[in-house]
Amino acid sequence: MHSITFNSCGDLSVLQMVESETLSPTANEALVKVALAGVNFIDVYHRRGQYPLPLPSGIGLEGIGEIVSIGKAGGDFKVGDRVFWTSALGSYAQYVNVPIDQLTVIKPELQLTNEQLLPLLLQGMTAHYLVNSSYQVTGEDTVLVTAAAGGVGQLVVQLLKDKGATVIACASNSNRAQYAKNLGADFVGIYDQIASLVAEVTKGLGVDVVYDSVGKDYFDVCLATLKDNGMYVLCGAASGPVPPLDLGRLSTKSLAIRRPTLGSYARTQDDRIARLEDLTNLIRAGKLKYPSAKAFPMDKTKEAHDLIESRTYSGKIAIDPWL
Residue 182 CA from chain centroid, whole number: 21
In angstroms, the CA 31 to CA 78 distance is: 11
If asked whether residues 61 and 149 sit together in one domain, one would say no
If asked whether residues 94 and 134 sit together in one domain, one would say no
If asked whether residues 309 and 239 sit together in one domain, one would say no
Q: Report the first-to-last Cα separation within the chain, whole angstroms.
A: 13
pLDDT tens for the chain, 323 residues: list them: 999 999 999 999 999 999 999 889 999 999 999 999 999 999 999 999 988 999 999 999 999 999 999 998 777 899 999 999 999 999 999 999 999 999 999 988 888 999 999 999 999 999 999 999 999 999 999 999 999 999 999 999 999 999 999 999 999 999 999 999 999 999 999 999 999 999 999 999 999 999 999 999 999 999 999 999 999 999 988 888 899 999 999 999 999 999 999 999 999 999 999 999 999 999 999 999 999 999 999 999 999 999 999 888 888 999 999 99
CATH number of the domain where residue 25 is located:
3.90.180.10
The predicted pLDDT at position 7 comes to 97
Residue range(s) defining the domain that contains residue 199? 127-263
The one-letter amino acid at 117: L
If asked whether residues 151 and 58 sit together in one domain, one would say no
If asked whether residues 158 and 99 sit together in one domain, one would say no
Is residue 225 within 8 Å of 210, Cβ to Cβ?
Answer: yes
150 lies in some domain: yes
CATH number of the domain where residue 172 is located:
3.40.50.720
The predicted pLDDT at position 217 comes to 94
DSSP track, 194-251: HHHHHHHHHTTS-EEEEEESS-GGGHHHHHHTEEEEEEEEE---TT-PPPP--GGGGT
The predicted pLDDT at position 241 comes to 86
The predicted pLDDT at position 280 comes to 96
Is residue 27 within 8 Å of 34, Cβ to Cβ?
Answer: no
In angstroms, the CA 252 to CA 243 distance is: 20
If asked whether residues 72 and 135 sit together in one domain, one would say no
The predicted pLDDT at position 236 comes to 87
The predicted pLDDT at position 272 comes to 95
275 lies in some domain: no
The predicted pLDDT at position 297 comes to 98
What is the per-residue pLDDT across 34-73, written as a single tens digit (0 to 9) for each?
999 999 999 999 999 988 999 999 999 999 999 999 998 7
216 lies in some domain: yes
If asked whether residues 151 and 106 sit together in one domain, one would say no
176 lies in some domain: yes
The predicted pLDDT at position 267 comes to 92
Instruction: Count the domains in the chain.
Output: 2
If asked whether residues 153 and 230 sit together in one domain, one would say yes
If asked whether residues 109 and 145 sit together in one domain, one would say no
82 lies in some domain: yes
Domain end marker among 244, 263, 282: 263
213 lies in some domain: yes
Question: In this structure, are strands 2-6 and 57-58 parallel, antiparallel, or unpaired?
Answer: antiparallel
253 lies in some domain: yes
